[in-house]
Amino acid sequence: MITPPSGAGEQQGGMGAALLSDPDRIERILRTLVKGVSKPVTCKIRILPSLEDTIRLVQRIERTGVAAIAVHGRRKEERPQHPVHCDVIKAVAEAVSIPVIANGGSQDCIKVHSDIEAFRAATGASSVMLARAAMWNPSIFRRDGPLPLEQVIGEYIRYELSATNHTFNTKYCLCKRLKEKLESPPGKKLHSAQSHREICEAFDSVVYYKKTTTMLEARSAAEARRHHTDDQFEDTDVTTMTVRFDKQVQETSVLQRDYPPQITPKMFLLEWSQSEQLPQPVYETVIQRPLDRFFRSTVTAANKKYRSTTWDKSKKLAEQSAAVVGLRTLGLPEGRMGEEESNLVKKRKREEKTECSGSAESAEESGHAPIGDCLALYSIYSTEGTASWMS
């Protein structure tokens, strides 16, 4: 059971910590899971305002047949700066016969490896769950003591580059690790970084960045050649091309939009088919790679099939890549920034301008944002080749 920050559960339709006020629903969910899956089911809760209510809840949870229960020793409204209630976790451990996992000690109790056992003993739990302490420095699990933060960060950067982790997830984790050191020179560089290269520059890892990106590019090219060879034997009636659709591309240190907002290759292929009075394009998407479960799609347009030799992380991206192959083969525009404006782009701009003007007029009537603000926003997104975008 997920326990988000106070109030988050109510805003997410009664999920997470909001379920604490509905024990009947908790019981129904857990009984359904225990009955319906072959794996052990566990549950995680925060403590309730009173010890008695907390004990009654965990005993009720135990009767559903769960294998273990994790207890975050804070109430729903309490934040990390509030002390963890070890005494309540201990009372829970004494009240049930299933294993209890103690959670919430990162801020107060756990600084080094030996503190993990001390926290377990103080709570009487079977084991300990760590989140923030492990994120701050994963080497907290070393019995010989944590490694220097600089070493941990260096190793983490190597792992995330090899795994092609998302830039902003990497940045988030590193910022959490630096904590008060964010005001240091590397911390300031990290704070302003917008790419993996800039992150590596902040920590003197550019040489490794270049080595890793070269290796990954070579691996990707070899994989593309292999799939292209396979495709020649698989489907002789399919036109293939090595392309990958991406709304964003890396230009120097800034993420630039490769396509205008709300414009995609699939839309262009559909518009062309309609203008030529042809059937609507049909997409066949399959998952064939057991290692990563990536997707690849084949589109049929004008009675011909098109497919990219690359594999994508989602069905939507795979279909867009297939549409790009079709458009390029047919010699049609695909909507990229810098292309001559098509009727579709012009239509979208007219619609956006109309919507923008209508919103601005309503805002002026209600005394809110002036029309200039709205038109300025429209100008940013409609200027070819200049709009920068951060996800």
Residue 115 pLDDT more than 90? yes
Is pLDDT larger for residue 224 or for residue 309?
309
Average pLDDT, the chain: 81
Alpha helices in the chain (DSSP H): 8-11, 23-36, 51-62, 86-95, 113-123, 132-136, 149-162, 167-178, 185-192, 196-202, 206-234, 265-275, 315-330, 343-366, 371-382
In terms of Cβ atoms closer than 10 Å to its own Cβ (0-12, 13-18, 19+), residue 378 is: middle
Radius of gyration of the chain (CA): 27
Tokens of 256: 């630039």
Asked whether the beta carbons of 124 and 95 are under 8 A apart, the reply is no
Number of C-alpha atoms within 13 angstroms, CB side, residue 126? 14
Predicted model pTM: 0.58
Tokens of 3: 């326990």
pLDDT value of residue 74: 96
Rounded Cα distance, 46 and 54, in Å: 9
Asked whether the beta carbons of 249 and 258 are under 8 A apart, the reply is yes
Alpha helices in 83-235 (DSSP H): 86-95, 113-123, 132-136, 149-162, 167-178, 185-192, 196-202, 206-234
The pLDDT-based confidence of 158 (bands split at 50, 70, 90) is very high
Residue 381 pLDDT more than 50? no
Rounded Cα distance, 219 and 314, in Å: 20
Residue 291 pLDDT more than 50? yes
The predicted-structure confidence for 208-236, as pLDDT tens digits, reads as follows 999 998 888 787 677 666 655 555 555 67
Q: How far is CA 237 from CA 78, 135, 228, 303, in A?
A: 62, 50, 13, 11
Is pLDDT larger for residue 127 or for residue 256?
127
User: What's the mean pLDDT in 339-367?
Assistant: 54
pLDDT value of residue 107: 81
User: What's the mean pLDDT in 241-251?
Assistant: 65
Minimal CA–CA distance to 61: which of 35, 26, 20, 94? 26
Rounded Cα distance, 65 and 61, in Å: 8
